Structure 1
Amino acid sequence: MRVIVWGNCQAAPLGDLLRAPLARAGLDVVDLPPVYLLTRDEVSDVHALMPDVALLVSQPIRDEYRVPGCATSTLAGLLPPDGRLVTVPLVYYSGALPYQVTANGADGLRVNAPLTDYHDLRLLQAADRGETATDVLAGWPRAAPDDALRAHAAASLAELHRRERTCDVVVSDLVTAPDALFTLNHPNNAVLGETARRVLGAFGGDPASVAVPLREYLGGIRAPVEVGAPWLIAGEPVPWDVVITEHLAWYRTRPDVVRDGLDRNARRLADLYPR
Structure 2
Amino acid sequence: MASVFQSLPSESLRMQTNKTEWILFPSIYFGGLFPHLTYLRQQNRAMLRGPLTDYHDRRIINAYMLGLSAAECAISMEERDVISCRQHFSACVRESSFREASLPIKVMHYVIDNFHSSRTFHTFNHPSNDVMWHVVRQFLALLGLSMSVERPPVNQYLNDVTAAISLEMAEAVGLKFVDDEYSSHGVTIPRISLIEQFFRLYDSVADFPALCSANPAPNLGAPD
TM-score (norm 1): 0.65
How far off is 1:96 after superposition? 1.7
Instruction: Verify: 1:154 aligned to 2:90, yes or no.
Output: yes
How far off is 1:208 after superposition? 3.1
CA distance, structure 2, for counterparts of residue 81 and residue 166 of structure 1: 20
AA aligned opposite 1:86? I
- The alignment's C-alpha RMSD in Å is 2.4
- Structure 2: gaps of 5 or more residues: 168-178
- Structure 1: gaps of 5 or more residues: 1-61, 269-275
Give the match's secondary structure for 1:108: coil
Aligned counterpart for 1:140 among listed residues 67, 70, 77: 77
Instruction: Verify: 1:239 aligned to 2:178, yes or no.
Output: no
How far off is 1:210 after superposition? 5.4
AA aligned opposite 2:183? L
State whether residues 35 and 88 of structure 2, in contact with CA within 8 Å, keep that contact through their aligned partners in structure 1.
Answer: yes
Paired-residue identity, %: 21
Deviates more, 1:156-165 or 1:115-124: 115-124
Matched with 1:78 is 16
Give the match's secondary structure for 1:182: strand
The structure-2 alpha-carbon separation of the partners of 1:166 and 1:257, relative to structure 1 and needing over 3 Å to count, comes to farther
Q: Deviations over 1:121-152 (max 9, x none)?
A: 11122233333323313433233x21211111
State whether residues 229 and 239 of structure 1, in contact with CA within 8 Å, keep that contact through their aligned partners in structure 2.
Answer: no
State whether residues 222 and 231 of structure 1, in contact with CA within 8 Å, keep that contact through their aligned partners in structure 2.
Answer: yes
How far off is 1:166 after superposition? 3.5
Instruction: Verify: 1:259 aligned to 2:196, yes or no.
Output: no
CA distance, structure 2, for counterparts of residue 169 and residue 154 of structure 1: 21
CA distance, structure 1, for counterparts of residue 3 and residue 57 of structure 2: 27
Aligned counterpart for 2:52 among listed residues 100, 108, 115: 115
The structure-2 alpha-carbon separation of the partners of 1:172 and 1:229, relative to structure 1 and needing over 3 Å to count, comes to closer
State whether residues 122 and 142 of structure 1, in contact with CA within 8 Å, keep that contact through their aligned partners in structure 2.
Answer: no
Instruction: Verify: 1:249 aligned to 2:200, yes or no.
Output: yes
Aligned counterpart for 1:219 among listed residues 140, 159, 162: 159
How far off is 1:156 after superposition? 0.5
Aligned counterpart for 1:174 among listed residues 110, 129, 135: 110
How far off is 1:260 after superposition? 3.4
Higher gyration radius (CA): 1
Instruction: Verify: 1:63 aligned to 2:14, yes or no.
Output: no
How far off is 1:114 after superposition? 1.9
State whether residues 251 and 258 of structure 1, in contact with CA within 8 Å, keep that contact through their aligned partners in structure 2.
Answer: no
5 Å matches for 1:19-34? none
The structure-2 alpha-carbon separation of the partners of 1:81 and 1:156, relative to structure 1 and needing over 3 Å to count, comes to closer
The structure in which a higher percent of residues are strand is 1
State whether residues 71 and 192 of structure 2, in contact with CA within 8 Å, keep that contact through their aligned partners in structure 1.
Answer: no
The structure-2 alpha-carbon separation of the partners of 1:217 and 1:100, relative to structure 1 and needing over 3 Å to count, comes to same
- Choose between structure 1 and 2 for higher RCO, CA contacts under 8 A separated by at least 6 residues: 2
Matched with 2:25 is 88
- In the alignment of these two chains, the number of paired residues is 201
Aligned counterpart for 2:63 among listed residues 114, 126, 142: 126
